[in-house]
Amino acid sequence: MAFAAASWVFVIVFFGVTLLSVFEDRQSLNVLARFRRYMTLRMGPPDRPRFHRTFHQRMIRPVLDRVRALINTQISESLRRTIQMKLLNAGCALRVTPEEYLMNAAGRIAGLGAAAAAVQYSLGFAVERILFNSVLVAALGAALTVLLLDSKIRRRIFTIERELPELLDYIQVAVEAGLSVDVAVERIVREQSKSIMAGEFRIYLNAVAMGLPRMDALHELNHRTRSRYVKNFTDGIVQSVKTGIPTGNILQIVRRDIYDDIRTRAEKKAYRAPVLMMIPMILFIFPIVFIITLAPTLMKLMSGVGTLGVEF
C-alpha cells in the first residue's frame, strides 16, 4: 500500500515537473519570438547571404535606390513640397514619396517615348520625324501623368464631400446626446472604417493622441482634404473652442450651410441639363430625323426627275 502511494506521488511529481518545464520552454520561446519581432521592427530584417537573395533584391532594388537618391539630389525643395502636397491630397503620401513618384513618372514617359520610336522605326519613318514624334509622345505622357494625379485628387474631394454630410449628422446627434466631438469621431472611425473621411478622422485622432494640439490637428485635416465642407467643419470647431459657443449649435449651422450649398449645386446642374442635352440632339438626333423624314421625298423627287431624262 505504501509502495503504491509512493508510486502515485512519484508519477504526479514527474508529470508536474514535465508540464512545468514545457510551459517554461514555451514561455521562453514566446519571449524569444517577441524579442526577434521587436528587433526586426527596430533594425529591419537580417541581411540574407548575397546568393540567397532574389533577383529583385540583388539587381533591381540597388538600381532603384541609386535612381531615387539621384532624383533626391536634383529636385528642388519647392518641387518636393508641391509633389508631397499633391500626393497628400490624393491620399498617396503614406505609400509613395515624391522621389518615387518622379521616378515612376520618368519611367512611364521614357517607356512611351521608346515605344513610339520603336513603332515609327518599324514603319520606316525618317529619323527626324521619329525624334520629333517621340518627344511629342513623351511630353503628352508627362502631361497625362499630371492630369491623372489631379483627377485622382478631384475624385477624392468629391467622395469626401459626398460622405461628410451624413457623418456630420451623426456627429451632431452624438454631441447633442452629451458626447464630445472627438468621441463621436472615434465612433465613426470604429463603425465606418472603409470610408475616406473616416480614414482622415483616424489620422486626426492619432495625431491628437500623440500629443499634437487639437487646433493643429484640425488644421492638418483641412490641409489634407482640400474640401470646403471640411474647412467649414474645422472652422466651426475652432470657433466653438475659442468663443465658447456650444458645439451642437455650431455644427447645426455648419450642416445647414453644407446642405444649402449641396442644394444650390444640384439646382445649377439641373438648370444646365437642357443646354447640355442640346449638344447630342443637334449632333446626332436631328440629322437622323432629317434623314428619315426627307430621304423618301428626295428619292421620289430624284426618280421623277430621272423619268424626264435629266441626269445628276
Q: In this predicted structure, what is the pLDDT of residue 130?
A: 86
The last residue of one of the domains, among 125, 153, 181, is 153
Q: Are 165 and 258 in contact (CB under 8 A)?
A: yes
CB atoms within 10 A of CB 235: 14
pTM for the complete prediction? 0.67
Provide block-wise average pLDDT over 10 residues at a time, the chain (312 residues): 43 44 44 52 51 63 70 75 87 80 83 86 85 88 88 92 90 88 89 85 91 90 90 90 87 90 88 84 84 81 64 49
Task: Give the 3-state secondary structure of residue 262.
Answer: helix
Co-location of 170 and 238 in the same domain: yes
164 with 255, same domain: the answer is yes
Give the structural domain span for 213. Answer: 158-264
Rg of the Cα atoms in the chain? 34
Answer whether residue 207 is part of any domain. Answer: yes
In a shared domain, residues 171 and 258: yes
In a domain, 16, yes or no: no
> So what's the pLDDT on residue 56?
59
Are the beta carbons of 163 and 200 closer than 8 angstroms?
A: no
**Residue 64 and residue 138 in one domain:** yes
Among the three residues 153, 176, 195, which one is the final residue of a domain in this structure?
A: 153
Q: Are residues 146 and 221 both part of a single domain?
A: no
Residue 286 in any domain: the answer is no
Tell me: do 190 and 134 sit in the same domain: no
- Give the cell for residue 248: 451642437
3 state DSSP class of 126: coil
Task: DSSP for 32-70, please give it.
Answer: HHHHHHHHHHHH-SPPPPGGGS-HIIIIIHHHHHHHHHH
Q: What is the DSSP letter of 213?
A: -
The residue with cell 508631397 is 84
Q: What is the pLDDT at residue 59?
A: 67
Q: Are residues 162 and 181 in the same domain?
A: yes
Assess if residue 132 is contained within a domain: yes
Q: Are residues 122 and 176 in the same domain?
A: no
**According to the model, what pLDDT value does residue 104 have?**
82
Tally the domains of the chain: 2
- Do both 147 and 171 map to the same domain? no
Q: 229 burial class (0-12, 13-18, 19+ CB within 10 angstroms)?
A: buried
